[in-house]
């Protein structure tokens, strides 16, 4: 895909897709096997190996991955799951899918992530799990969270929707996770169009999750069709249709092979943004935490509370200048879907959600395009 013209509207993100992905998808179509099949199995193995997990279970989206992870924990009515409000609403919604109650916790301002302290502030005897998000590709401090959750006898699930290519202590996000859920939406670092994955080191969970994604069948459709003898399947429990197609997996395999190159490019662009923004007062860029490295799936900035213009007004100015920035991460507890749900005070969440915005960052972005974005910010800052 060619880079947008320097004078054209600058998009927030352009997926890194090209001829190799197109050929892989076409080969999948021509193979005659387009539903969940051998390419899905190959993608699962490759992805699990990449993040350091024993098992990968490909599904239709990260939302379905989160749902299945909570089903694996046998959560239900009467249970509470602590989640960040500062996250796409699917994080909280997945808890409601199993009948449990999402409890919103605040985040730290530097990373936008849960900490052991913010979780502990809302923990109750009904808390059965914590859903920690690696927000915008900034890794959460999972080592501290895992230690705290072990002490509390609470399960820790990682919402790694944005996390592929990010690291904690030199190892991939999701390495050593009880359960981690991943996204391959077009706005993520690698994409299959739509799609998701659950990773885990637990073989029994992996076996059950593979059944659950395929209506609870005791043998997959791929295994049934590959057998030389008739197989009559059984449905062991109520399951779901959460399958990934071989076409998606074929694209995912190509994308996974490019992951290092993609992340390196995004980090290079982010470093240049950060250097340019040193000259812009009242704009604080997202940065790597001390314990890990982000993938800069999103490059977000936090405006000072006394910034000359409000965030929404600034988005309008950027749009008029041909820059497609986006508002920052949502605060789920403020959405109509959670009206009356109740939440503890979440001052940091509300501050970040109100005063942050996501700047364009994509692999074909040019220095001239970055300069355009920063010039608008500098002008609005009074610089």
Nearest to 192 by CA among 46, 296, 53, 365: 46
Distance CA 33, CA 36 (A): 8
Q: Pinpoint the alpha helices (H) of 291-366.
A: 311-320, 347-355
Give the C-alpha separation, 162 to 134, whole Å. 6
Q: How far from each other are the two terminal CA atoms of the chain, in whole angstroms?
A: 35
Q: How buried is residue 139: exposed, middle or buried, by Cβ count under 10 Å (0-12/13-18/19+)?
A: buried
- Indicate which residue of 23, 128, 188, 229 is catalytic: 188
Rounded to 5°, angle at Cα 177 from 172 and 178: 165
DSSP per-residue letters across 214-227: BTTBSS-HHHHHH-
Is-contact 56 184, C-beta < 8 A? no
Sheet holding 171-172, edge to edge: 171-172, 167-168, 292-293
CB-based contacts of 151, cutoff 8 Å, min separation 6: none
Beta strands in 184-252 (DSSP E): 196-200
Question: Residue 179: CB partners within 8 Å, gap ≥ 6?
Answer: 69, 72, 73, 155, 157, 158, 198, 199, 200, 202, 205
Quote the Cα angle for 150-50-170, to 5°: 60
Is 128 marked active-site?
no
Query: Do the beta carbons of residue 129 and residue 155 sit within 8 Å?
Result: yes
Catalytic residues: 188
């Amino acid at each position: 895909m060619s880079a947008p013209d320097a004078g054209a509207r600058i998009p927030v993100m352009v997926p890194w897709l090209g001829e190799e992905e197109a050929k892989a998808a076409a080969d999948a179509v021509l193979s005659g096997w387009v539903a969940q099949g051998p390419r899905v199995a190959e993608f699962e193995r490759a992805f699990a190996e990449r993040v350091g997990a024993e098992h990968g279970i490909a599904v239709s989206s990260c939302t379905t991955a989160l749902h299945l992870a909570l089903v694996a924990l046998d959560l239900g009515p009467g249970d509470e799951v602590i989640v960040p409000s500062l996250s796409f609403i699917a994080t909280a919604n997945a808890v409601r899918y199993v009948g449990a109650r999402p409890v919103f916790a605040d985040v730290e301002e530097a990373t936008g992530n849960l900490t052991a302290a913010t979780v502990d502030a809302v923990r109750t005897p009904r808390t059965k799990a914590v859903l920690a998000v690696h927000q915008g590709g900034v890794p959460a401090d999972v080592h501290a969270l895992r230690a705290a959750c072990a002490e509390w006898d609470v399960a820790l699930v990682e919402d790694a929707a944005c996390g592929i290519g990010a690291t904690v202590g030199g190892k991939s996000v999701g390495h050593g996770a009880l359960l981690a859920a991943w996204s391959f939406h077009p706005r993520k670092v690698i994409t299959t169009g739509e799609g998701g994955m659950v990773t885990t080191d637990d073989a029994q969970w992996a076996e059950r999750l593979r059944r659950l994604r395929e209506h609870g069948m005791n043998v997959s459709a791929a295994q049934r069709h590959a057998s030389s003898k008739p197989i009559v399947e059984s449905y062991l429990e109520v399951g779901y249709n959460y399958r990934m197609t071989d076409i998606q997996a074929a694209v995912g395999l190509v994308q996974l092979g490019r992951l290092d190159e993609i992340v390196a490019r995004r980090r290079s662009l982010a470093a240049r943004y950060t250097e340019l923004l040193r000259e812009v007062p009242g704009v604080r860029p997202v940065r790597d935490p001390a314990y890990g490295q982000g993938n800069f799936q999103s490059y977000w900035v936090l405006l000072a509370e006394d910034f000359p213009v409000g965030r929404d007004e600034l988005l309008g100015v950027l749009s008029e200048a041909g820059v497609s920035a986006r508002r920052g991460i949502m605060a789920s507890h403020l959405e109509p879907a959670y009206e009356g749900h109740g939440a503890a005070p979440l001052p940091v969440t509300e501050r970040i959600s109100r005063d942050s915005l996501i700047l364009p960052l994509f692999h074909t972005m040019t220095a001239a395009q970055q300069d355009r974005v920063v010039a608008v910010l500098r002008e609005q800052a009074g610089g």
